[in-house]
Structure 1
């Protein structure tokens, strides 16, 4: 077949830079439409640009490459638009938090508590809130992680019949429980025993929220372990419990650890249970089993509620928000690092 015949069969194609040119033209036209229509919101300009990009891509591709190829290009353009719609708000959120949070975020802010500092006065810090968050989230993890992992092991390795289906159903239900409901449940128990707010009560509510996430993630990781490994171990006469302990868990430990770390990141920002059960404390309290404590989400809520949109409390709220984002980001990076470190190594 000649080169001319192959070129004819391929048909006309848009150059590789065409999507960028269409996107640039769409943005420019959207700005012109926004200014002409008196639209002040950049969000509206962005939505107009997205619509123009999709429509323009289809129109130009259909004229040059044909309708069949145009459908493929419009699908690709929709994926890019959806990606930008997801990323732009996230980047904007992080940017605003960083710009406003760095105003008072320094070593003094991280190593001092509010103490006798009023919300309207400058100074103070989040040391007491960091201690409260670490203790409450740590205790919740010590409760939820073993229970969640053992539940997942039962569902995957032993669970059969109605009991397994009932556990799976309740785990699914617990996954969608609002955090305030978990807080109210623990609060009702505290009222029965006439107990005052304390840090461990918040840990119990956070453990309830964390448990189904650990169960689901661990269950999926255990299902990825090849059955051949289990059968080979059992064929050698190794008991089932020892096969799980020495074969199944080491193979999936990276994914299990990642799931637990992501569950920790999920509960680290919960405010409602802490507000109900821990109550908040401007002073340092290192004992989670006695007296009210603070936490980073609760500190952010209280500072912003007392700031009236400006002042020292407003700046402290943003600085604490930046600290909480950094904490969650570190947990995610640690989870990714553990997943790569414990990933099964393939031979050459």
Structure 2
């Protein structure tokens, strides 16, 4: 579906990104094996660390594209959120990050059960119990981000991965908003068209409940194969999001219908989650049979096993990505020229990071 939109602000180009560096990691530490994802600023690649043979997903971003679009603030926000997300089971983990004169590298957990979007495309829709399991794990991850005053803002099936056992892993934190207190609002117009909350479309101040709207939209899509107000024409779709009542096809339980109406409430102040955030979602009747402690500790058996055959298994990765050739340039360590040093390196100072557990660096 459509790529996200972002209205850049004038201040993004002169953000002071701080100063810290990890001079040790470099692209030539890895064998880059396949393209496994794509974004606005670069690609995600399956990579094997030469030193120990471990597999990682490496997100490679082009500095010149980020600078041209004035997106360095969002890239640094993504890195900051990744640093905070290591302690939650359903958020992708960052091992370390580094940069060359031309590119930024995020070294992430390799998650090869496939995008939820890939499985939805293949199966059209999921059963209620299967959808409940995924939505509960996603809600747990979103609730954790909210507890850190982070609003996710871009929840969609493409950003929800399955791990090798079939558990959810939320990824891509490029549109996250940090430092948003429970009662606070923000106004940046961003997200993916099919999942935009009405208050975002109206360009009104919005709060963390935009994530619960998106959760409702993703649940609806899992059950009925399209987002709730989807239209081929974007103007018609926006009109539907703003003005049309939610239509739920027959055949679903009262509990899921009630949840969908609560999450897809057009008035953000009346939306499920507006008062007590994740606690309201947890306590909804739709999740009555979920033991949230067991869910968090992955003691619940996933409803679907991706049947991953090993760390290099790409069967659940969309062939649209894996058919692409791996660019030779991602594995090179270019010499730093004076012109590039002034235009790029200062803009991304503070990007490099290494986890304390990565002693091989």
**TM-score class normalised by the smaller sequence:** under 0.3
More helix by share: 1
Query: Which of 1 and 2 has greater Rg?
Result: 1
The answer to which structure, 1 or 2, has the higher relative contact order (CA under 8 A, 6+ apart) is 2
The structure richer in strand per residue is 2
